[in-house]
């Protein structure tokens, strides 16, 4: 089935997933980083202190994910989504009225957890759970909410801060989340029972051979084979983007370069996410596991070997290709390997590891800079590690494919 007829057939469910991915922007690095200078000035914080605060908030969010994320398997989807929406709005409201830096930390933790963590969790788990034959297309469509947020929110937030100040902009954000995300998502769902009655006929066609919990998942070697191919993109992309100003300065690029290049990154990410969907349906996510690592390798090579301004555009475009393919493959592969019955719990454990990697990236890159390593040296070391991990990703894809052929409990 092609994208347009597919979307028309299941528009409410797919629009719901896109909406949650879109609103996850309020907890993403690219949006929160716009407020960092405001926090530094308002609460007399150093850049190092705000970086540590952000890293600790991200780690705290990751630690909570396995507990909060698994409840999507146990609560009605409408109820769970309402709780997530309320949590996200509360985080924005805390920042709007924060009288002390401690409240900034609480607001960051809440936004990281309910935004980056649970909004994305709801979006991708829903798309991955309720489709089997067209799972690749479903997760690809849901994933377009991420780049849409990257295209829309930076300009809006920048204008809002300039027009009404950072506190009022967070107040407006809280109101938008409460008045748009919560009611619109519930309207799209209506109720879990009505949603399930409207699902495509292939939903539930795959029954997992066992009940997967965190303990059994952590004892399964396939879990680590998948993680080693999915975690690097989050780690390296966060490190590159978080320190993009430092990279630009070392290359002599103007401040305008990344502002324009980031729009190209978002568009490319959306296009490749959609493009990967049919290939996942045709070839399986397992076979496509190494593809996003190849793009990540090429992106790192551009950063290392070229210094012209065009390299900023090329690096971010190729990085967008990597993240676009990776986000579609990531959701589909968990469902292919472990089934959909406990997909929420499986994905919450995996997301914890992924979020931890995004928390560690700024700390590792920053520590290396503080130790005196040059930007070219750090980028070269990153590229070497990416090349090694790309080779590992091919091994992981082959091993998972052989496990399927041997009749191990891998869902088809």
Q: How far apart are CA 212 and CA 338, in angstroms?
A: 8
DSSP state of 253: -
CB 333 within 8 A of CB 226: yes
CB contact set of 42 (below 8 Å; sequence gap of 6+): 166
Residue-level pLDDT at 409? 45
State the CB neighbour count (10 A cutoff) for residue 27: 28
Residue-level pLDDT at 405? 66
Residue-level pLDDT at 210? 54
Mean predicted confidence (pLDDT) in 123-135: 78
At residue 54 the predicted structure's pLDDT band, cuts being 50, 70 and 90, is: confident
Q: How far apart are CA 410 and CA 83, in angstroms?
A: 33
Comparing C-alpha atoms, which of 7, 17, 24 is closest to residue 142? 17
Residue-level pLDDT at 203? 42
Backbone angles phi, psi at 74, to 5 degrees: -120, -25
Q: How far apart are CA 389 and CA 220, in angstroms?
A: 20
User: 206-412 architecture in CATH?
Assistant: Up-down Bundle (1.20)
CB 121 within 8 A of CB 115: no
Each residue of 204-248: pLDDT tens digit? 333 344 566 667 777 888 888 888 888 888 888 888 877 777 788
State the CB neighbour count (10 A cutoff) for residue 403: 17
Each residue of 270-282: pLDDT tens digit? 888 878 777 887 8
CB 229 within 8 A of CB 297: no
CB 276 within 8 A of CB 332: no
Comparing C-alpha atoms, which of 237, 227, 215 is closest to residue 352? 227
Q: How far apart are CA 144 and CA 55, in angstroms?
A: 26
Q: How far apart are CA 274 and CA 141, in angstroms?
A: 6
Better pLDDT: 300 or 51: 300
Residue-level pLDDT at 75? 87
Each residue of 160-205: pLDDT tens digit? 998 999 999 999 999 999 999 999 998 888 744 445 444 444 443 3
For residue 327, give the 3-state DSSP assignment: helix
Which among 283-292, 353-362, 403-412 has the top mean pLDDT? Answer: 283-292
Residue-level pLDDT at 204? 39
Q: Return the ∠ at Cα 161 (arms to 159 and 162), rounded to 5°.
A: 65
Percent of the chain with pLDDT over 70: 89
User: Which of 65-79, 180-194, 283-297 has the least mean pLDDT?
Assistant: 180-194
For residue 339, give the 3-state DSSP assignment: coil
User: Is it the case that residue 412 has pLDDT exceeding 60?
Assistant: no
Q: How far apart are CA 54 and CA 60, in angstroms?
A: 10
| Domain residue ranges in the chain | 1-205, 206-412
Better pLDDT: 114 or 334: 114
Q: Say which CATH topology domain 1-205 has.
A: Growth Hormone; Chain: A; (1.20.1250)
At residue 9 the predicted structure's pLDDT band, cuts being 50, 70 and 90, is: confident
Question: Same CATH fold, 206-412 and 1-205?
Answer: yes
Task: List the structure tokens of 302.
Answer: 């551009």
DSSP state of 207: -
User: Is it the case that residue 138 has pLDDT exceeding 60?
Assistant: yes
Backbone angles phi, psi at 290, to 5 degrees: -75, -10
Mean pLDDT of the chain: 82
User: Is it the case that residue 319 has pLDDT exceeding 50?
Assistant: yes
Spell out the alpha helix ranges (H) of 198-254: 214-218, 221-242, 244-251
DSSP state of 117: I
Each residue of 145-155: pLDDT tens digit? 888 888 888 88
CB 34 within 8 A of CB 23: no
Q: How far apart are CA 12 and CA 21, in angstroms?
A: 14
User: Is it the case that residue 386 has pLDDT exceeding 90?
Assistant: yes
Residue-level pLDDT at 87? 96
Mean predicted confidence (pLDDT) in 65-74: 84
User: Is it the case that residue 410 has pLDDT exceeding 80?
Assistant: no
Indicate the pTM of the whole model: 0.74
For residue 149, give the 3-state DSSP assignment: helix
User: Which of 31-45, 121-135, 186-200 has the least mean pLDDT?
Assistant: 186-200
């Amino acid at each position: 089935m092609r994208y347009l007829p597919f979307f028309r057939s299941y528009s409410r469910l797919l629009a719901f997933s896109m909406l949650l991915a879109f609103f996850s922007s309020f907890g993403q690095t690219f949006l929160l980083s716009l407020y960092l200078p405001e926090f530094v000035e308002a609460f007399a914080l150093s850049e190092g202190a705000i970086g540590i605060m952000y890293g600790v908030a991200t780690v705290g969010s990751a630690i909570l994910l396995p507990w909060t994320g698994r409840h999507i398997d146990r609560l009605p989807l409408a109820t769970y989504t309402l709780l997530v929406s309320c949590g996200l709005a509360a985080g924005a409201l805390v920042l709007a009225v924060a009288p002390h830096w401690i409240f900034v930390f609480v607001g960051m933790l809440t936004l990281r957890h309910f935004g980056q963590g649970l909004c994305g969790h709801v979006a991708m788990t829903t798309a991955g759970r309720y489709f089997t034959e067209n799972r690749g297309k479903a997760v690809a469509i849901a994933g377009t909410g991420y780049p849409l947020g990257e295209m829309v929110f930076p300009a809006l937030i920048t204008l809002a801060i300039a027009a009404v100040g950072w506190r009022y902009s967070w107040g407006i954000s809280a109101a938008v989340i409460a008045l748009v995300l919560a009611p619109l998502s519930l309207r799209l769902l209506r109720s879990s029972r009505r949603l399930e009655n409207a699902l495509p006929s292939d939903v539930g066609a795959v029954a997992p051979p066992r009940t997967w919990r965190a303990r059994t998942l952590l004892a399964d070697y396939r879990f680590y084979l998948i993680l080693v191919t999915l975690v690097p993109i989050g780690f390296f992309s966060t490190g590159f983007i978080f320190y993009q100003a430092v990279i630009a300065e070392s290359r002599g690029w103007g401040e305008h370069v990344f502002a324009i290049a980031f729009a190209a990154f978002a568009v490319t990410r959306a296009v490749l996410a959609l493009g990967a969907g049919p290939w996942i349906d045709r070839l399986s996510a397992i076979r496509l596991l190494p593809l996003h690592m190849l793009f990540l390798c090429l992106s790192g090579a551009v950063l290392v070997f070229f210094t012209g301004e065009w390299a900023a555009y090329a690096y971010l475009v190729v990085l967008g290709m990597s993240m676009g393919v990776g986000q579609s493959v990531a959701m589909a592969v968990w469902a292919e390997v472990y089934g959909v019955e406990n997909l929420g719990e499986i994905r919450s454990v995996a997301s914890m590891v992924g979020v931890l990697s995004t928390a560690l990236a700024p700390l590792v890159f920053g520590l290396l800079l503080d130790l005196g390593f040059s930007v070219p040296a750090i980028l070269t070391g990153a590229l070497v590690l990416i090349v090694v991990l790309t080779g590992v990703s091919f091994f992981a894809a082959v091993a998972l494919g052989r496990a399927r052929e041997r009749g191990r409990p891998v869902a088809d």
